């Protein structure tokens, strides 16, 4: 298997063309100082890489996987089927149906294979990063404090009055 630098949170996607969407998952993770890395792992074009990644992630120290995919969007579900780790899915906007096809492909998981699906596109990717931090904060008091401060700052940025 090619060398993947595993981190606490792994952000994987089916194609490099998904990166403009998926890089938004890195924003809250960076702000909250959560170790993360990314890789291209395609369910269709590199199936063995996907199997190797999903099979090794937990033993390599990964605790949460964020998987983005467009079109038929099999990557999050396949990784969830192969790994015991929580998988947060991001439907990537596609040319066909502007990502509705991706959303429907991801959200209709069979009973017994759980995937936490976010919104289509950049907002969904950002929220996936935030959700990964929230999951990790359950066992990391310092991260929980950083997250609480981050949320307070988020609220403070919303003006009370409308001009």
Name the helix (H) or strand (E) containing 13: strand 9-13
Band (pLDDT 50/70/90 cuts) for residue 2 is low
Question: Residue 21: its pLDDT value, please?
Answer: 97
Q: Round the average pLDDT of the chain to a whole number and report it.
A: 94
Report whether 155 belongs to an annotated binding site. Answer: no
With a cut of 60, say whether residue 1 has pLDDT above it.
no
What is the predicted pLDDT for the residue at 83?
98
Residue 107's pLDDT band (boundaries 50, 70, 90)? very high
Domain spans, the chain:
9-156
E-state strands within the chain: 9-13, 36-40, 64-69, 87-91, 116-117
Q: Is 102 annotated as a binding residue?
A: no
**Structure tokens belonging to residue 135:** 């999951």
Phi/psi-derived region of residue 99, left when phi > 0, alpha when psi is between -120 and 50, beta in every other case? left
Amino acid 162: pLDDT: 82
Length of the chain as a residue count: 163
What proportion of the chain, given as a percentage, has pLDDT over 90?
A: 83
CATH number of 9-156: 3.40.50.1970
pLDDT digits (tens, 9 = 90+) for 73-104: 899 999 999 999 999 999 999 887 888 888 99
Please indicate if the annotation marks 45 as binding a ligand: yes
């Amino acid at each position: 298997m090619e060398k993947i630098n595993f981190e606490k949170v792994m952000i994987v996607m089916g194609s490099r063309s998904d990166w403009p969407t998926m890089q938004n998952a890195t924003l809250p993770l960076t702000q909250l100082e959560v170790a993360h890395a990314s890789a291209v792992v395609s369910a269709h074009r590199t199936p063995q890489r996907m199997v190797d990644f999903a099979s090794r992630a937990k033993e390599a120290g990964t605790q949460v996987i964020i998987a983005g995919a467009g079109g038929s969007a099999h990557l999050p579900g396949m990784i969830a089927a192969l790994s015991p780790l929580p998988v947060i899915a991001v439907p990537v906007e596609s040319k066909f149906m502007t990502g509705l096809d991706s959303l429907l492909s991801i959200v209709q998981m069979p009973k017994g294979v759980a995937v936490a699906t976010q919104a289509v596109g950049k907002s969904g990717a950002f929220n996936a990063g935030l959700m990964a931090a929230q999951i990790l904060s359950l066992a990391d008091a310092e991260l929980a404090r950083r997250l609480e401060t981050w949320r307070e700052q988020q609220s403070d940025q919303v003006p009370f009055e409308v001009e």
